[in-house]
Structure 1
Amino acid sequence: MLPTLVIGLREGLEAALIVGIIAAFLRKNGKSLTPMWIGVGIAVALSIAVGVVLRAIEQALPQAAQEGMESIIGAVAVVFVTGMIVWMNTHSRGLKHELEAEANEAINDGHAYALAGMAFLAVLKEGFETSVFLLATFTASSSMALAATGAVIGVAAAILIGTGIYAGSVKLNLSTFFRWTGGFLILVAAGLVLTALRTAHEAGWLNAGQQTVLDLSAVVRPGTVQSALLTGVLGIPADPRLIEVIGWFAYLIPVVLFVYWPRARRAHGMQIARLQFGVAGAIAIVALGLVAFFPRVGAPQLPAAAISGAVGASGGTAQLAGDSFYFTLDGNSTRVHLDPAKSATAEVNGIVARHWKLPVAPTQTTAPSSVTLAQLIELNGGRLPVGVNAQTDPGPFDAGWSTGGTLEVFSAEGALLDATQTARTVVTISGGGLSTPRTISVDDSRYAAPSWAVTSASSTKAQAAVNDALASQTERAFWAVQLPIALGLAALITAAFGLRSRRRALTDQKTPVGPTASPAIPATPQRSKSYAAQ
């Protein structure tokens, strides 16, 4: 409630001051206030419409997209409030006189409607900024009703103060007011930076720097004053993360220094250029340091995975080696070539993996081409196969062997995530007294292709290792690539500002001032007479 109240009060007072000054000039010069109030009403309606439309769009989006839009709105709000704080810090002392001078010039030129347009644009600007900032604050607030109440109270108070200033019954030191509220809004904006970084992570945009730095759960307990202050007002959660803490300080420290650095000690002329070049150099050094010292990330190293299955379950292992997959059962090793062109994309517990689905290779064991009745009963698990009569079909039988089934392999980052082989070996017998051939499934491990699967423990271990490797890659991509690029651009921009400041300082040094300035051209008698006549 408090952040929205201050936002409504501050932004509303800025608009109220401008409208009040313009209304005073219009009334003083006998002009109608109707066009101005029409412009103000349209601006207010447009500002409310912007907030409503943005909120409706956000609510219509899927969850991840909502989080992404909240991040964008939060970033825009931070830019708006920072620009407003910096501008007011520079112009608050002479705001009233500047507006009065502009209004007086417009009245003298006979442009009363220009003043109405000025009021419209001023209210529209403040209203649009307020809509975006309040929307971002509403999103971060735990209670939408309290946040809305604070905004209404703030705007109402701003209107009352603005009316009092217009009527002359309220005296307000604008410089002090904007200075103190600016400090509070800097803290609120820093909280919005933190919130925008968290929603960016929830949208899937920012996955680096998510290590929890502090555990404030003992302090930030729901329903307490501390929770209302830290979370509700300043936007600080109970589990601030590394990237959020860095973003909070990276925003707060420079803005506080810029706004509250003593005016007597502020840089001037060439000092500004040197300061900007120094800041650019420091940023560049940080960027190079991140690139040089952030650790490299390799593929996860895993031992062979244990496997189990219906056939050949004892002592089985499976592993990847380049484009080859090996599995060993009962001392028999089988190699399968994994052609990258024949792989598909699949997901294994959230991990994007390569997936091969291949036919089962036939067993390497030489199966007999004929079997006796006793061997047939042994192949069938100790039972006489259906359709075979020991008296009429004494054997021996001709045997034809065939194997079917699939081998599925899942891998990511060079690690074996999972593998399963489902096989079925059958023998077709004929002759030996049989009138028609018979097909029998074979479970004998001497002849049947094995069915097996990587154990859940091995699969879980491999998936955890891959997740760790992917997280490390994400961290490195951010800290050693993306962030240094952003810092490099920031350093270049800061250096460009330094060059501009240097050119300005050199130009000022070359401009003659005081006794070295060019002598003024003496006035002619005709011009003197003209001024005297005036």
Structure 2
Amino acid sequence: MLATLVIGLREGLEATLIVGIIAAFLRRNRVPLAPMWTGVGVAVLLSIAVGLGLQVVEQALPQAQQEAMEAVMGIVAVVFVTGMIVWMRTHARHLSRELEASASAALGRGTAWALAGMAFLAVLKEGFETSVFLLATFQASTDTGLAALGAVIGIAGAVVVGYGIYTGGVRLDLAKFFTGTGVFLVFVAGGLVLTVLRRAHEAGWVVIGQQRTVDLSWLAPNGSVQGALVTGVLGIPPDPRVVEVLGWVLYVVPVLALSLWPRRWKPSAVRVPAVRIAVASGLAVAALALAVAVPAGHTDVPATTRVTGDARSVTARVSGATATLRVVGSSTGSAGREARITLPAAAHRRVTRAGTTTDRWRVTSDGGAADQPATLTLDDLVQLFGRIPVGISPSSAPGPYRASWVTRDTVTLWSVGGGVVDASRAERSVLTLTGGGLPTARTSTLDRTVWAVPRATVDRTTAALAADRTHTAELALWTRWLPLALGIAAAAQVLLALRDRRRLGLPDTTVPSTTPTRGPPVTATARSTDAVR
């Protein structure tokens, strides 16, 4: 409620001040006020329509798109309130004189309808900003009813104060008033930055920097006065994330410094470009330091790993899209034998294994089984299958049976960065039995894992890769996105410095110009003074 009350009071007072100054000017010049009030009324109605329209559109969207729209409206609201704070910081002391000069120019061009248009645009601007800012604050508020009540009280108070200033019954130091409310709104807008980043994460736009920083539930318990102030007014959640804290600091610190910077410390117009270049240099150095100094996460997956079954270990050697497996310990159980299996590029695929993107090779070969017995008894079948296969009756077909074997051998390797994530060799044998009293041939399938990487080893490796992937994504905030933001800010300061130099008439380089000029030379100090004027 307090946040919306201050928003309504400040924004409403800006609008009523503008309208009051224009009305006083019109009254002194004996110009009818009806056109101005018409413009003000139309602007108020359009502002209300904008707020209601945004609310209706948002409610008609699916949940994820609602979060996205709330994030966009929050960004617009932060831009509006920042521009409002900066503009009032510059114009509050001379607002009346500037508006009267604009009103004189507008009246000189035509009738009172020109001033009506001026009042319409001024109130429409303030009303639109108020609608978006209040709507974003409502969405971040825990109690919409109290937030709406605060807005109504604030706007009503602004109308009363504005009327008092207009009639002369209220004396108000506008510079101090707008400075004080500006500081408060900096923290409210900082809370909106937190809300925007939270909504952007819920919409799937921001997936980095989501580690929790501190637990503020002790500072803002639900239902307490502290909770209403910290969470409801300042918009600070009890579980701020890294990216949210970073966004809050990057917004609040510079805007607060801009709002409270003493005017006597303000550099002269000639020195502003140099100050901007110094700020740009500092931002560029910070961006470069973050990009270079922050270490990148990386998990090395070993190329050799132990396996269970008829082998001891496997070693992978990856070259481009081909791979070679060296298997120590053959299927015959000889511990000293090695087997090399070539995995061609045609067998390569990019697949996901336990949530990790891997390079997979799979080679399948068919053939007979020279080491398998040609004759099997009932006892052999029970030993192979663990039971008597379906379709064989011991009483009518006691055996022995003639066995025909067809075996399919499959070798699979899952690799990341040349290391072994998982590997296995499996056999599928198709056994066909005849004779031994069987009226027809009986076919059964027997699957056997020759060797494989233990499941516990695979789980540890994939868990380490997942943690490394998350860590790398989190580091991207510090090694990519934050340096990019600092670089953009540095470039903006350089462009603004060049603009200021052109406005002051200063050369872009330190080389003196040899172009002849007419009339007496103009010094840089004189040009800068004229530009300031």
Find the counterpart in structure 1 of residue 89 from structure 2.
89
Instruction: Name the aligned partner's letter for residue 366 of structure 1.
Output: A
Structure 1's unaligned 5+ residue stretches are: 443-447, 518-534
Find the counterpart in structure 1 of residue 334 from structure 2.
none
Is 1:353 the equivalent of 2:352?
Answer: no
Is 1:370 the equivalent of 2:369?
Answer: no
| Alpha-carbon offset, residue 156 of structure 1 | 1.4
Find the counterpart in structure 2 of residue 197 from structure 1.
197
The 8 Å contact of residues 360 and 421 in structure 1, kept in 2 or not, is answered as: no
| Mapped partners of 1:384, 1:267: distance in 2 | 94
Per-residue CA shift, 1:188-212, capped at 9, x if unaligned?
Answer: 1122222222333333333333333
| Mapped partners of 1:380, 1:352: distance in 2 | 35
SS at match of 1:343: strand
After TM superposition, the structure 1 = structure 2 runs for residues 348-427 of structure 1, keeping only pairs within 5 Å, are: 348=354, 351=355, 353-354=357-358, 366-368=370-372, 370-373=374-377, 375-376=380-381, 378-381=383-386, 383=388, 386-387=391-392, 394-403=399-408, 424-427=428-431
| Alpha-carbon offset, residue 91 of structure 1 | 0.7
Tell me: CA distance 1:53–1:352, structure 2 relative to 1, closer, same or farther (3 Å): farther
| Alpha-carbon offset, residue 300 of structure 1 | 4.4
The 8 Å contact of residues 290 and 479 in structure 1, kept in 2 or not, is answered as: yes
SS at match of 2:431: strand
Is 1:172 the equivalent of 2:172?
Answer: yes
| Mapped partners of 2:387, 2:347: distance in 1 | 45
| Mapped partners of 2:525, 2:160: distance in 1 | 48
Instruction: Name the aligned partner's letter for residue 76 of structure 2.
Output: V
- Aligned-pair Cα RMSD in Å: 3.8
Per-residue CA shift, 1:53-106, capped at 9, x if unaligned?
Answer: 333333344434333333322222111111111111111111122222322343
After TM superposition, the structure 1 = structure 2 runs for residues 10-409 of structure 1, keeping only pairs within 5 Å, are: 10-301=10-301, 322=318, 324=323, 332=331, 337=343, 339=345, 343=349, 346=352, 348=354, 351=355, 353-354=357-358, 366-368=370-372, 370-373=374-377, 375-376=380-381, 378-381=383-386, 383=388, 386-387=391-392, 394-403=399-408
Tell me: CA distance 1:421–1:36, structure 2 relative to 1, closer, same or farther (3 Å): farther
Tell me: CA distance 1:181–1:382, structure 2 relative to 1, closer, same or farther (3 Å): closer
Instruction: Name the aligned partner's letter for residue 93 of structure 1.
Output: R
Find the counterpart in structure 1 of residue 466 from structure 2.
467
Instruction: Name the aligned partner's letter for residue 487 of structure 1.
Output: L
Structure 2's unaligned 5+ residue stretches are: 332-338, 507-521
The 8 Å contact of residues 401 and 434 in structure 2, kept in 1 or not, is answered as: no
| Alpha-carbon offset, residue 293 of structure 1 | 0.8
SS at match of 2:448: coil
| Mapped partners of 1:409, 1:144: distance in 2 | 57
| Mapped partners of 1:325, 1:364: distance in 2 | 24
Tell me: CA distance 1:37–1:318, structure 2 relative to 1, closer, same or farther (3 Å): farther
Tell me: CA distance 1:307–1:390, structure 2 relative to 1, closer, same or farther (3 Å): farther
Instruction: Name the aligned partner's letter for residue 167 of structure 2.
Output: A
SS at match of 1:450: strand
Per-residue CA shift, 1:221-279, capped at 9, x if unaligned?
Answer: 11222222221111222223333223222222222222222212210033212211110
Instruction: Name the aligned partner's letter for residue 460 of structure 2.
Output: K
| Mapped partners of 2:425, 2:36: distance in 1 | 80
Find the counterpart in structure 2 of residue 501 from structure 1.
500
The 8 Å contact of residues 412 and 466 in structure 1, kept in 2 or not, is answered as: no
The 8 Å contact of residues 215 and 239 in structure 1, kept in 2 or not, is answered as: yes
The 8 Å contact of residues 347 and 361 in structure 2, kept in 1 or not, is answered as: no
Find the counterpart in structure 2 of residue 445 from structure 1.
none
Tell me: CA distance 1:495–1:276, structure 2 relative to 1, closer, same or farther (3 Å): same
Percentage of identical aligned residues: 45
Query: What's the TM-score, normalizing by structure 1?
Result: 0.81
Q: How many residues align?
A: 502
The 8 Å contact of residues 50 and 131 in structure 1, kept in 2 or not, is answered as: yes
